[in-house]
Homo-oligomer: A and B are copies of this chain.
Amino acid sequence: MFAEAEAAHYERLQLNDAGELKHLLTLDGLSGELISQVLDTAESFIEVGSRSIKKVPLLRGKTVATLFFEPSTRTRTTFELAAKRLSADVLNINISSSATSKGESLSDMLRNLEAMAIDMFVVRHASSGAAHFIAREVTPEVAIVNAGDGQHAHPTQALLDMLTIRQYKPDFPSLSVAIIGDILHSRVARSEIAALKALGVKDIRVVGPDTLLPMAVESFGVRRCNRMSEGLDGADVIITLRLQKERMSGSLLPSEHEFYSLYGLTTDKLETAKDDAIIMHPGPINRGVEIESAVADSSRSVILEQVTNGIAVRMAVLSMVMSGQINARRVASGE
């Protein structure tokens, strides 16, 4: 019941009256139809990446600001590239040296950027709910795209994963999907589970030691597996998560070496998975920690396809959200 109320809340916040995305904060509450529509749009942009002139004029004259309160060159770069290929102007706001360090509040900074007629904020923040807070409380008329907030959501990562799965295994309801590693702290896993379920996947397993799995993970409709042989049994899709090495030294895990021996994705452990299973990782990979080098570089690995799809998915999200935001404002102003 609570989950339904929350989903309804997000729906009001990130969809306009016509049911189009006007922000992208989370995949919670998004329908399989809407997710498929994002993937279809992304598919059309993949062709753009292989063109000689990799640009379309969809966001010409729009300004996209990337606001990374938590540094991530990789994710910022993919959004910057996606925005430029849509012909937008991009402003990379360096938060640490910006006005917030002069004591300005986050709200004042964002309202200032809004007053500069910036059309879209791509936000990464260490606090869960930051993008949501901005879209609800601060600048609801600026299109907000969540590029990762705390342990909450990383919707564009999950969408690019769905696009990659669909390219190899389009029949989602028939799939068995295993997600391996630190599920407890992973916004990627949280968004992936939401997307897989919306697309009709029935058999989702989360694999890891109990210390890295959420307490009541079964309530999300997924299966808890402590053993890799069980988690990978008959799997079509295997998603390894990045292990935050800094957690290694704490009490959650004894050592990098022990993690690798128990949960590292090796050729041996892949025995129980389907022969044509695809192997995914959000990157950057720790070779010899989450995944064996031979597996990461094998023909089953689709890790680099994920990167390529990441640009296309972000182009799709940026253009759809901008369009939904414009339509929302048009309705609001009674045009």
CB < 8 Å: which of B49, B60, B77, B116 contacts A81? B116
Q: In the assembly, what is the distance between CA of A311 and CA of B326, in Å?
A: 22
Q: Which residues of B contact A245 (CB under 8 A)?
A: 103
Are B71 and A97 neighbours in the complex by a CB distance under 8 Å? yes
B-contact 0/1 string along A297-319, CB 8 Å cutoff: 00000001101101100000000
Complex interface residues of chain A between 73 and 110 (CB less than 8 A to chain B): 73-74, 77-78, 80-81, 84-85, 89, 91, 93-94, 97-99, 102-105, 108-109
User: B residues within 8 A CB of A287?
Assistant: 105, 108
Q: Within 8 Å of chain B (Cβ to Cβ): is A14?
A: no
> B49, B109, B111, B304: which contacts A112 (Cβ < 8 A)?
B304
Identify which of B55, B60, B111 contacts A61 (C-beta below 8 A).
B55
A294 touches B (CB below 8 Å): no
- Least Cβ–Cβ distance between A98 and chain B, in angstroms: 4
In the bound assembly, the distance between CA atoms of A304 and B112 in angstroms comes to 6
Q: Is A15 in the interface zone, CB < 8 Å from B?
A: no
Please determine whether B115 and A308 come into contact, CB atoms closer than 8 angstroms.
yes
Given A54-B62, A117-B50, check contact A286 B103 (CB 8 Å).
yes
Q: Is the CB of B80 within 8 A of A94?
A: no
Q: How many copies are assembled?
A: 3
Smallest beta-carbon distance A69→chain B, Å: 13
A176 within 8 A of B: no
Query: Which B residues are in CB contact (< 8 Å) with A114?
Result: 304
A29 to chain B, nearest CB (A): 30
Which residues of chain A from 57 to 73 have any CB-CB distance to chain B below 8 Å in the complex? 60-63, 71, 73
In the complex, A51 has a CB within 8 A of chain B:
yes
Q: Contact between A108 and B285 (Cβ–Cβ < 8 Å)?
A: yes
Residue of B98, B103, B118, B284 touching A104 (CB-CB under 8 A) = B284
Task: Map CB proximity to B onto A132-171 as digits: 1 under 8 Å, 0 otherwise.
Answer: 0000000000000000000000000000000000000000
Contact surface of A with B, Cβ cutoff 8 Å: 49-55, 60-63, 71, 73-74, 77-78, 80-81, 84-85, 89, 91, 93-94, 97-99, 102-105, 108-109, 111-112, 114-118, 245, 283-287, 304-305, 307-308, 310-311, 326
